[in-house]
Amino acid sequence: MGSLKLTHRDRMQALLFNEPLDRLPIALWRHFPVDDQDPTSLAVATLNYQNIYEFDLVKVTPASSFCLKDWGAEDRWEGNPEGTRRYTKHVIHSPKDWENLPLLYPSSTFLAQQLECLSILRKQIDTNTPIIQTIFNPLSQAKNLAGGELLLVHLRLFPEAVLQGLETIAKSTQMFIEAAIKTGIDGIFYAVQHAQAGLLTKSEYEHFGRQQDLQLLKTTETLWCNMLHLHGTNVYFDMVNDYPVNIINWHDRDTSPSLQEALLNYKGIMCGGLKRETISLGTPSEISNEIKDAISQVNGSRLLLGTGCVVPCIAPHGNIMASRKLVDEYES
């Protein structure tokens, strides 16, 4: 532990380069339902959250529909504890719809609004605090364009049509990332949802997911703080642990690999250690025990303390604040 207090940026970069830290880095993020329907209100909510807890990076969390509404998707806030919205209108109904999907440009209404949100945040948050923008990978976007079940049906019965749609989604996403980089972000939070055995086989994910992911992540090579989010259980960690990102975040308390297991076959930073249920329904003492256990699993190295996914909206302020204060007590 160093005696000098580091900035958030310096702390994250020290973590990436295995240099001495003044404390264990931490990043918790959440959805802001209702606020996420307007770029200014989302920026204000995100900024207020960061001002309260002073996490080591700001992960900007718009509704997943931000990248789909310009295609015509619609969703509704119905009180999900995670803060997510339910899709009420899908865009893809027939295999031909994948082939007819138009390119979206960063100037499109809802994409432009998210870029505005990022610009506001970068002006309000100095460069000593990293900002990363949520990017859903092409398969994740396709799921919400068609509905999860229909995507899998089309993927297996009409693979060429789906691949054509995925190419359009990937190109649209690439242009958005390029525009987002110009706002001054430090990285992206790349959300992968289908690299799990309950949805696709490994060969299916290789064909419909991994190839698109690797191509798209080339767009982020100039950024220094990219995080991969591997969503779900029974995940294909070995299919993504070579992705060109700095950090991998997954549900380590709910599925393999554990932090200890990942330490052996992944060379980057691991983000995890806290169970979302503990943050939401547990006590500061239980949170403390999880932090100690996480540090022990990785021998105090290469750990960004976080949860496996978004912190539920029902998580008490006291538990979130306890998580933030407890990192000062434990050597990294």
The token pair that represents 63 in the structure block: 């509704």
Mean pLDDT, the chain, whole residue set = 97
State yes or no: pLDDT of 4 exceeds 90: no
Is the predicted pLDDT of residue 331 greater than 60, yes or no?
no
Amino acid in the structure at residue 51:
N
pLDDT tens digits, 155-175? 999 999 999 999 999 999 999
Domain boundaries, the chain: 8-326
Query: Under CATH, which number does the domain 8-326 receive?
Result: 3.20.20.210
CA neighbor of 179 nearest in space, from 125, 266, 113: 113
Using one digit for the tens of pLDDT, what is the confidence trace for 101-154? 999 999 999 999 999 999 999 999 999 999 999 999 999 999 999 999 999 999
Using DSSP, state whether 318 is helix, strand or coil. helix
pLDDT reported for residue 329: 86
Cα radius of gyration (the chain)? 19
How do residues 214-244 score in pLDDT, each as one tens digit? 999 999 999 999 999 999 999 999 999 999 9
Cα gap 205→290, rounded to integer Å: 32
Q: In which residue are the tokens 């002006």 written?
A: 123
Percentage of the chain beyond pLDDT 70 is: 98
* pLDDT tens digit sequence for 247-303: 999 999 999 999 999 999 999 999 999 999 999 999 999 999 999 999 999 999 999
Separation between Cα atoms, residue 311 and residue 29, nearest integer Å: 6
pLDDT score for 3: 61
Rounded to whole angstroms, the Cα distance separating 164 from 158 reads: 10
Mean of pLDDT values over 50-56: 98
With contact defined as beta carbons under 8 Å apart, do 227 and 189 qualify?
Answer: yes
- What is the pLDDT, as a whole number, of residue 183? 98
pLDDT at 332 over 80: no
pLDDT tens, residue by residue, 66-110: 999 999 999 999 999 999 999 999 999 999 999 999 999 999 999
For residues 3 and 233, the model is more confident at 233
Averaged over 179-187, what is the pLDDT?
A: 98
- Nearest by Cα to 326 from 295, 296, 287, 297: 287
Whether residue 2 is predicted with pLDDT greater than 50 in this model: the reply is: no
**Which residue has 């015509």 as its token pair?**
72
